[in-house]
A and B are shown apart, each in its own frame.
Chain A
Amino acid sequence: MRPDLLIKNALIIDPSQKTDRVADVMISQGKITRIGEKGTVPVQKDSIIIDVAGFVVCPGFIDLHCHLREPGFEDKETIATGTRAAAAGGFTTLCCMPNTNPPLDTRATIDYVKQKAEADGSVHVLNIGCLTKGRQGKELTEMYELADAGVIGFSDDGDSVASSRVMHLAMEYGRILHLPIIDHFEDNDLANGGVMNEGWVATRLGLKGIPAAAEEIVVARDIALAKLTGARLHIAHVSTEGSVELISNAKEKGIAITAEVSPHHLTLNEERIMGSPARKNKYLTYDTNAKVNPPLRTKKDIAALIQGLKDGTIDAIATDHAPHTSVDKLCEFGLAAFGISGLETALGCLMNLVHEGQLDLITLISKLTCEPAGIIGTKHGELGTLKPGCQADITIFDPNKEWVVDSQNFVSKGKNTPFDGYQLKGKVMVTIVSGNVIYHDTSIKIEGY
């Protein structure tokens, strides 16, 4: 018998139950057993008590989009390190993308990841299966078999499905599975080897641009196909104002579409490539840590993305955690890998939006908890909620703690962050998965742990 866990003096924010109050939470045998007024929850003699006065207690964060790199790219990240990084960032469930080597396009590879996650993982790991064999964009995977193996959606993320015909077939063939199809929205022909947003900064730096239209063309195409087939479509890492508009129109027409946005697209714009506000650079930096796909866009796009979160056009915030080795990044900008290691900075960056008054705390938490849970469904248990009886996946954070990002202290193998040296306000203090404290800040003392 594991001892009970009592979280005292919690400011509970659980958008799934529209809860926003100070209370105590009791956890027993891995499940939430009771939420009661302060001091009213009876305590067993050997219970572990965590006093969290001043902190926010909410359902554990769910990341719909991350790259754990295993199998195949263990020098960038492993399931062990990636899930520990997730815990440090307050994420209790990760949905990992299948662009591994080999890619997750068969039951065997999915099972491998599941077993690895069972053995090495600190948090729940859910899989997204490939949409096409070998991510080649040509032949569909055995979608029913993959669904049976437990995938929560299908994607060739990292590459767009170039063929409209193949995308159409995927939506038709897999429609009755009711699992989302997640495209990587980029018209390769138009992007044509671009390395950053097409705009004045690309001109300033002499770098090849990727126009916003390269994303919007594929968003529009996939919306048209979703309308045609009735399939579920999920738009990954929305980055442009035009995409937000397309998604909003599609939702108005009742098309089955959901969307996610990443913390970096909400907080950084293309100018970050020229230099970091946290560093004093005499010269342009051509900062490869700000090289990401889709690229960082403009202030105007950021405003539209934030508005999209508020008005419900965008359902979820997902990190697109994309760890890389320093060799992948410490090179010429045009040759560097795309991607940002994002799990450990997500909350801090997003809380800056809350502190600036751009986003309210309840909306933010709902985009990290119950809304992504709704996209995953209940096949893997009820996620993103603190309802009594549900598995105790809980994130506790201090909304006001200021800290400075130091990538060298990342748990993730990927130190590739554009936020290095940034002062953020808002930090994860405790992460609980299935009733176990799997991460706590060094400033927190928990008796019995």
Chain B
Amino acid sequence: MKTIEPKSVTPIAETFPPPSISSWNHHHVLDLDDFTREEIELTLEITDAMSEILTREVKKVPTLRGKTIINLFYEPSTRTRSSFDLAAKNLSADTISLDASRSSIAKGESLIDSLRTLRALGADVVVMRHSQSGAPYLAAQHVNTSIINAGDGWHAHPSQALLDLYTIRRHLGKLADLKVVLIGDIKHSRVAHSNIWGMTTMGAKVTLCAPQTLLPYGLADFTNQCHIPNISIEPRIEVAIKEADVVMPLRLQLERQQSGLLPTLREYIHLYQLNEKRLSLAKPNALVMHPGPVNEGIEISLEVAHGAQSVIEEQVTNGIAIRMALFYLVAGGKSNET
């Protein structure tokens, strides 16, 4: 698959501080709902520079030397945690990963206490994953350490959405006016939620395709109240995919079927699996994306997941670059105290 290379990559060392960093106004990265188009552009530009570092033989720069970044994961995660960890190490930060099941958190320490302890240990940035929606917002209210939300409950996963935007732009050259189709468990997907904010802010049109039991309640009210443009719902996959530029099936947690939201996986596969036949309804160069981990043969067929249009693996690589950019923006350059 042909990629459009970013225009004139400047080595990161020469871009410090990038001219437009003064437009960055985020001490924390909690969701994309408070990101302007310019801020997203800035993040993607810096990600270009970070991507270049990843192509070097020695993929390490001293940018965040002496900074401490702590991964605080209350929920199991391999990919996201490794991605944040590598991103921090590539920037020469010192990193620690705390697994909630193995620390004092399991002994009943409150979230706020844990955060205060991490601050006292000198954390400059805390990357937080939590099964409760809003947990990083609680953290941000009580400590001044920068918080990066690595996924909270059903709510948000901003770094994933940013890497999706980055991947799309790298391949299709733009985001505005693209048709993006999200398929599957929108209701419980923090990736979908952050993508709805990010994609529409960048001018893309988003179609949500799912059985009604996997759609959030009051979606139309939500988009009206929050002035989110260009969102549509289309439960029929063949109609939804038509002329799409990007098709993104979401991971189907198997417990959704067990809790009765779906009668059988068989019917879900029958109605919603992204297969070659359905993909052929999209634009010929449409991208196939997936936030991972993939249930091959459930939400996506094996052929499509590994097919020519799939950029799923590249999403993983871009994830490191995006997270390097976020670390740089919140912890590098100047202080962003607000």
Is the CB–CB distance between A200 and B154 below 8 Å?
A: no
Scan B208-241; emit 1 where CB is below 8 A from any A CB, else 0.
0000000011110110111000000000000000
Chain A residue with the shortest CB-CB distance to B154: A206
Give A330 to B152 CA distance when docked, in angstroms. 17
Contacting pair A334 B138 (CB below 8 A) = no
Interface residue? A198 (CB, 8 A): yes
State the 8 A-B residue pairs at the shortest beta-carbon distance, nearest first.
A206-B155, A286-B134, A200-B221, A206-B133, A206-B154, A332-B132, A200-B222, A203-B216
Contacts A206-B155, A206-B190, A283-B28; is A332 near B135 (CB within 8 Å)?
Answer: yes
Q: Across the interface, which residues of B come within 8 angstroms of A334, CB to CB?
A: 132-134, 153
> Are A200 and B225 in contact, CB atoms less than 8 angstroms apart?
yes
Beyond the given A207-B155, A283-B141, please list 16 additional residue pairs across the A-B interface where CB-CB is below 8 A: A198-B217, A199-B221, A200-B218, A203-B217, A204-B226, A205-B133, A284-B30, A285-B137, A286-B133, A286-B138, A331-B112, A332-B111, A332-B134, A333-B132, A333-B134, A334-B153
Residue B338 at the chain A interface, CB threshold 8 Å: yes
Q: How far apart are the CA atoms of A204 and B228 in the complex, in Å?
A: 11
Chain A residues, CB < 8 A from B152: 206
Docked-complex contact A205 and B110, CB < 8 angstroms:
no
User: Majority SS of interface residues in chain A?
Assistant: loop
Q: Which residue on B lies nearest to A202, using beta carbons?
A: B217
Is the beta-carbon distance between B34 and A283 smaller than 8 angstroms? yes
B30 to chain A: which residues have CB within 8 Å? 283-284
Question: Judging by beta carbons under 8 Å apart, are B217 and A209 in contact?
Answer: yes
Query: How does the 8 Å CB contact mask read for B120-160 relative to A, with 1 for contact and 0 for none?
Result: 00000000001011110110110000000000111110000
Does B193 touch A at the CB level, under 8 Å?
A: yes
Contact A203 B138 (CB under 8 A): no
- Kindly report which residue of chain A lies nearest to residue B220, judged by CB atoms: A200
Which B residue's beta carbon lies closest to that of A335?
Answer: B132
Number of A residues with CB within 8 Å of any CB on chain B: 24
Determine the residue in chain B with the shortest Cβ distance to A211. Answer: B217
How many angstroms from the CA of A293 to the CA of B130 in the assembled complex?
24
B135 touches A204 (CB 8 A): no
Q: Which of A208, A285, A332 has the most CB of B within 10 A?
A: A332
19 A-B pairs whose Cβ atoms sit less than 8 Å apart in the complex? A198-B217, A199-B217, A200-B221, A200-B225, A203-B218, A203-B219, A204-B225, A204-B226, A205-B155, A206-B133, A206-B153, A206-B155, A206-B156, A206-B190, A209-B217, A286-B137, A331-B110, A334-B132, A335-B132
Tell me whether A379 is interfacial, beta carbon within 8 Å.
no
- Does A2 lie at the interface of the complex (its beta carbon under 8 Å from any beta carbon of B)? no
Query: Is A282 in the interface zone, CB < 8 Å from B?
Result: yes
